[in-house]
Amino acid sequence: MTGVRSLRMTIESSLENVSLVGNALRGILENEPGPRQDIPLVELAVCEAVNNAIIHSYGRVGGHLVEVDVSLMDGRLAVVVSDMGRGFESFPDPLPAIPESDRPEAFPLGGWGLRIMGTVMETVAYASHSGRNRLTMTRRWEPPVANGTGLT
């Protein structure tokens, strides 16, 4: 792939609009060389980031904008979710992991969005500058390498 290929989506801060982002992202990734089996996971991670912007940054108040920038370049996928709402007081580093337990009572009630993002994406970073919050997620996005059997 040569050069950066990118798309910006802008939605109003309503949970009803999150599916628009998920559907668009899925459509993009289904038509790009990459690990097709991971498309639903990436869609989930991005939708969780958009949900977080609407719920936590804007307090579920409509009428605000959430921007989602999707970029593909040199076998990498980058997604940036931006808003102008309330930002993180402190962003966890490292991100919390998904608990390994067969006991449902061991699972936390909240905080799953960051856990999912950290598991699905290779990098998750947060920055806030001049009132704009930006959550940046990246991961490799290239066709699987053949394993010598003709199967990928």
Q: Which one, of 112, 117, 54, lies nearest residue 86 by Cα?
A: 54
Q: Which residues contact 145 (CB under 8 A, 6 or more apart)?
A: 152
Does 60 or 145 have the greater pLDDT score? 60
Average of per-residue pLDDT across 38-54:
96
What domains are there in the chain, each with its CATH number? 5-140 (3.30.565.10)
DSSP-H helix ranges across the chain: 18-30, 39-52, 112-120
Say which residue, 93 or 3, is predicted with more confidence: 3
Closest listed residue to residue 139, CA positions, set 126, 127, 124 = 124
Give the type of residue at 75.
G
Residue 131: is its pLDDT beyond 80? Answer: yes
- Which pLDDT band holds residue 144 (cuts at 50, 70, 90)? confident
Phi, psi of 9 (to 5 degrees): -115, 140
> What's the confidence (pLDDT) of residue 1?
44
Which among 62, 71, 38, 93 has a CA at the least distance from the CA of 138?
71
Residue 12 near residue 75, CB atoms below 8 Å: no
**Separation between Cα atoms, residue 104 and residue 107, nearest integer Å:** 5
Structure confidence at residue 102 as a pLDDT band (50, 70, 90): confident
pLDDT at 97: 64
DSSP 131: T
Q: For the segment 10-23, what is each residue's pLDDT rounded down to a tens digit?
A: 999 999 999 999 99
Mean pLDDT score of the chain, rounded to an integer?
A: 88
Report percent pLDDT > 70 for the chain: 81
More confident residue, 86 or 149: 86
